[in-house]
Amino acid sequence: MTPSRSRATAHAKAQSRNTSALTAFALAAAGLLATTGYALSQDTTVTHAYSNFGEVRYGPDMEHLDYVNPDAPKGGEISISDTGSFDSFNPYSRKGVVAALTTIGSESIVESTLDDPYGLYCFLCTTMEYPEDLKWVTFNLRDDVTFSNGTPMTAEDIAFSFNLFLEQGITEYRRIVEGFIEDVDLIDDYTIKFTFTDDAPIRERIGFAGGTPVFSKAWFEETGARLDESSEEPFMSTGAYVLKSKDFNRQVVYARNPDYWGAEHPLQIGRNNFDEIRVESFADSQAAFEAFKAGAFTYRVENSSLIWATGYNFPALNEGNVIKEEIPDGTVGTAQAFVFNLDRKTWQDKRVRDAISMVFNFEWSNKALFYGLYDRVDSFWPGTDLAATGTPSEGELAILQPLVDEGLLNEAILTEEAPMPQVNSPDSNRPDRRVYRAAGQILEDAGWVPGDDGIRRKDGQVLSMEILAYDPTFDRILNPYVENLQQLGVNAKIERVDTAQYVENRRAGDFDLVSHSFQMGFEPGIGLEQWFASKTADDSSRNLMRLRNEAVDRILPQVVEAKTLEELETATHALDRTLRSIGFIVPQWYKPVHTVAYWDIYEKPDTIPPLGLGYLDFWWYNAEKHQALKDAGELR
């Protein structure tokens, strides 16, 4: 779980850290050290890494990550794009519109890698110590970590940062984690101990204590910055990159810190290879694409199927100066969907939501608009073993049956297959007559009857829907859906706003239907409450649909408290099945590959890790290739 919320985190650096002092530690502890630690006393473990499920991938004597090129050269620039305006560098506040890559300079005590979905590795620490019951964890910190201004990082900075999130973090985060910590003790300048309450979820404890971004206490005191206010500069941290320049709403440039403390760290070898990372802002994706073709920026993660299928036919690509490729994506598929605002009375009737969902024709959209590039979202964990399939297993039934007995779930959930989205014909956008008849009958059963003008009404109220949007390039998808809704008798339209209004309207719940992306992980835990718990519905950047459901609230703790991978999968299946049965989304699409294009001045390892593309992380710059393109007049 993370307390952050940033619209640009898709560009953020991949987090994977370890510790350089552990090689010496391993030699000193020869014969005692195991892959995941050694016993300090009868019930205390000292280790370089932690995992809830099995052994970690990397031992304490690792030299570098398996997926990096340890000899990758340093230098050059990579430039990317962002869309919309920005006026803040604080991704942890709900005030302001945050710039891209604002967390690129942040680090934490423990970090993960892109090839180990369950491992947490000491990074700002050398080792961690904990008892068998995980009542507490002590981090033995490195003594060579410095902030970007060269001042040392100490345990006091970590305690300050941790408490800062508890005091000033966004409401949805604080509501979940308040009461998890009993004490934070500063043992000395480089030792910090976190003691947990009994309410703190076991599987979350190490990550909760060690995963908070670390900031400079002195910098916060000198500047008067607050976590709950917008900021015109990033918070001072320990990372490899710092802000070089900014031009609000136009451009941001980050530069690699030449005095970065972790440059020779084993988990940093082969990483942070670019001298500068430049982000250019554009009004929309089409404008950005035209700029990319002209060489205004050099790396593009393509999110438009239309552009991907039809737009990459320009001289620089045809001549081999731009590379276009698809790279497998092994992460949990992002469950992109339209979400209903459940605080609005009209959408509180599941029958109405079901009818609205039925006439979105993904099959036609995928064929006619997306060129067959996408898969349909059918789960909140699409494409993984965590997705519910078929009828419930015995383990799922044990979770679901009591909720049915109490009237919190319909008994059909016990015998029916996991809900799947409506399948429509790919040959025409308009669903066939049987789908319209079925959807129409559902609405009539709910009291929404068509009038002489074809518009449905109930008790004199028109069945109206506004779909909130800001990017005109999305109209080619929205307009056909609006047409189908109007054919069904819904007074539907697109509500176009600018970027700032879009962000604020989503936050304030000022919408009927809006696009949302559910980004789940392989080890779901307490962070699920930010997405689905009733207590976050009033003020959440993730629970945009304002979901308040007692059955969901009862299942969430069973996911959080799962002790084995099998228990976790079973509880997640039950949760996924329940969420899908509620029907608060209109499922859209996802793709299991990264679609990228870049000017031929970058190189990458032969194998990309499954959990991240890493183009800002472990790719590198080829100066000779860039010079050749400059000599040819292709790039500046």
Sign of CA pseudo-dihedral 281, 282, 284, 289: negative
- The CATH fold of domain 9-73+89-223: D-Maltodextrin-Binding Protein; domain 2 (3.40.190)
DSSP at 159:
H
Confidence of residue 558 (pLDDT cuts 50, 70, 90): very high
In the block, tokens 């916060």 appear at 220
Sequential DSSP letters for 327-370: EE--SPPPEEEEEE-TTSGGGG-HHHHHHHHHT--HHHIIIIIS
Do 67 and 609 meet the contact criterion of CB atoms below 8 Å apart? yes
- For strand 585-587 and strand 335-340, is the pairing parallel, antiparallel, or unpaired? antiparallel
Instruction: Domain ranges for the chain, please list them.
Output: 9-73+89-223, 335-590
Confidence (pTM): 0.85
User: Where in 464-612 does DSSP place strands (E)?
Assistant: 464-469, 491-496, 513-518, 585-587, 589-590, 593-599, 602-603
Confidence of residue 7 (pLDDT cuts 50, 70, 90): very low
Q: Is domain 335-590 annotated with CATH 3.40.50.10800? A: no
- Strands of the sheet containing 464-469, edge to edge, are 491-496, 464-469, 513-518, 335-340, 585-587
* Residue 80: closest CA among 181, 8, 174, 187: 8
Q: Judge whether residue 145 has pLDDT over 50.
A: yes
Tokens of 198: 């009994």
Residue range 16-75, pLDDT digits in tens: 323 333 322 232 232 333 334 444 555 899 999 999 999 999 999 999 999 999 999 999
In the block, tokens 């819904």 appear at 490
DSSP at 88:
B
Number of residues that make up the chain:
636
Residue range 444-456, pLDDT digits in tens: 999 999 999 999 9
Q: What is the mean pLDDT of residues 546-551?
A: 98
Do 295 and 599 meet the contact criterion of CB atoms below 8 Å apart? yes
The span from the CA of 625 to the CA of 359, in Å, is 50
Q: Give me the amino acid identity at 556.
A: L
Sequential DSSP letters for 244-278: EEEETTTEEEEEE-TT-TTTT-TTTTT----SEEE
Can you say how many angstroms the Cα of residue 154 is from the centroid of all Cα atoms in its chain? Answer: 29
Do 454 and 489 meet the contact criterion of CB atoms below 8 Å apart? yes
Residue range 260-275, pLDDT digits in tens: 999 999 999 999 999 9
Do 9-73+89-223 and 335-590 have matching folds?
no
